Structure 1
C-alpha cells in the first residue's frame, strides 16, 4: 500500500467518522477484526508512554506490521524533499528501509555523503555509497553541523521526547532541516504507534518553537511539510511566519 492510499483512508477515519464513534467500544471491535489484538497493544502503548522502557518501545516496533512498501512518504513529498536538499551531505534520520535516500541521490547525483540513521537498521537496503548508523534520534552520534541537509520524515510523531529530538536534528544540520509529519488527530484507537499529533500546521509550529525566520510550513496531501534554514548564529522568531 502506498502513502496516497492510506491518506485517503485516514481522511475518512479522521474527518468523516465522528470522535464519539472513533473512541467507542464498537469502533474498537471493528479495528480488532482488521488488526487483531495489536490494536490493544497500540492503545496501551500510548497510555503508558511516560513509563515505557527501551525494551517495550523496541518490542512494539518489531511487531508492528509495515503498512507502506519502501517508504512512508508520498510521491509529492519525495519530490519536494529531493528538490529542497542543499549542500553536498545529507542525513536521513529515521531512514527505515533507506528508499528515500535512494530517491534523494538519484535527484542529486553530486552529493558526496549520504547517511541513513535509525534505532534499528535491520530493514535498510544497505545501498552502495550510503552509510548506515544505528542510533536514537534523541542522541545522534554526530558533530554539530556535520551534515548540510538533515531530513526527518514520519519520525517525530513517534518520539516521546519531542523537544530533545528536534534539538538534535537542528544541532547536526549545518544549512537546512526538512521535516515531514502526518497531519492527524488523536483518538483512542488507531493503527499507528504515535505519541504526537498535529491536526493543523500551527499545531506543529507551536511544538517546534522557536521557529527561525527562514522557514516554510505547508500541507502536502495529509502531511505537514516543514523546511527551515539554519541561522548562522542563534535562532530568532520575531518575523517567522508559515508559508
Structure 2
C-alpha cells in the first residue's frame, strides 16, 4: 500500500467517523478484524509512553507490521523534499529502507554526500554511494553543522522527547532542515505507534518553536511539510 492510499483511508477514519465512535469499544472491535490485537497493544503503548524502557520501545517497532512499501512518504512529498535540498551533503534521519535518499541521488546529481540514519538499519537497501549510520535522533553522532541539508520524515511523531530531536536536527544542519509529519488527530485506538499528533500546520509550528525567520509549513495531502533555513552564522 502506498502513502496516497493510506491518506485516503485516514480521511474517512479520522474525519468522517465521529470521535464518540472513534474511541469506542465498537471501533476497537472492528479495527481488530483488520489489524488483530495489535490495535489494543498500540493503545496500551501510548498510555505507558512515559514509562517505557528502551527495550520495550524497540520491541514494538520490531513487531509492528509494515504498512507502506519502501517509504512512508507520498510521491508529492518526495518531489517537494528533493527540490528543496540545499548544498551537496544530505543526511536523512529515520531513513528506513533508504528510498528517499535513493530518489535524491537519482534526481539531484549535484548532491555528492548522502547519509542515512536509523536506530535499526537492517532494512536499508545499502546502495553504493549512501552511508548508513545506526543512531537515535535524540543523540546524533555528528558535528555541529556537518550537513548542508538535514531531512527527517515520519519520525517526530514517534519520539517522546521530540523537542530534543528537533534540536539535534538543527544542530547538525548547516543550511536547511526539512521535516515531514502526518497531519492527524489523536484517538484512543489508532493503527500506528505515534506519540505526537498535529491536526493543523500551526500545531506543528508550536512544536518547532522558536520558528526561524525563513520557513515554510504546508499541508501536502494530509502530511505536513516543514522547511526552515538555518541562521547564516552556523
Could you tell me the TM-score, scaled by structure 1's length?
Answer: 0.95
Post-superposition offset of 1:112: 1.5
Cα shift readout 1:171-191 (whole Å, capped 9, x = no counterpart): 001000000000000000000
Question: Counterpart in 2 of 1:175?
Answer: 175
Partner of 1:232: 232
Over 6 Å off, 4+ runs:
none
Alignment of 1:25-104 (within 5 A): 25-104=25-104
Structure 2 stretches lacking a partner, 5+ long: none
In structure 2, distance between residues paired with 1:64 and 1:99: 19
**What residue is the counterpart of 2:113 in the other structure?**
113
| Cα deviation code 1:135-170 (max 9, x no counterpart) | 000000000000000000000000000110000000
Distance 2:212 2:226 in 1: 12
Partner of 2:8: 8
1:18 aligns to 2:43 (yes or no): no
Q: Determine the C-alpha separation between the residues in 2 that align with 1:233 and 1:205.
A: 23
Distance 2:161 2:185 in 1: 19
Q: Any residues of structure 2 matched to 1:148-159 within 5 Å, and which?
A: 148-159=148-159
Match of 1:196 in 2: 196
* Separation in structure 1 between the aligned mates of residue 9 and residue 111 of structure 2, nearest angstrom: 36
Q: Which runs of 5+ in 1 are unaligned?
A: 235-243
**Residues of 1 paired with 2:128 and 2:17: CA distance?**
45
CA distance in 2, matches of 1:134, 1:222: 29
Q: Give 3-state SS (helix, strand or coil) of 1:177's partner.
A: strand
Q: 1: distance between equivalents of 2:119 and 2:209? A: 25
- Quote the offset at 1:6 in angstroms: 0.2
SS of equivalent residue, structure 1 residue 157? helix
The alpha-carbon deviation at position 107 of structure 1 amounts to 1.2
Measure the CA separation in 2 of the matches of 1:233 and 1:97. 34
Q: Pairwise CA RMSD of aligned residues?
A: 0.8
Total equivalences in the alignment: 234
Say yes or no: does 1:222 pair with 2:222: yes
Q: Shift of residue 232 of structure 1?
A: 2.2
Per the TM alignment, residue 20 of structure 1 is displaced from its structure 2 partner at its CA by 0.2
Following TM superposition, by how much is the alpha carbon of 1:227 offset from its aligned partner in structure 2, in angstroms? Answer: 0.3
TM-score (norm 2): 0.99
Q: CA offset at residue 40 of structure 1? A: 1.1
Q: Confirm whether residue 160 of structure 1 aligns to residue 176 of structure 2.
A: no
Cα distance per residue 1:88-136 (max 9 Å; x no partner): 0000000000000001111111212100000000100001110000000
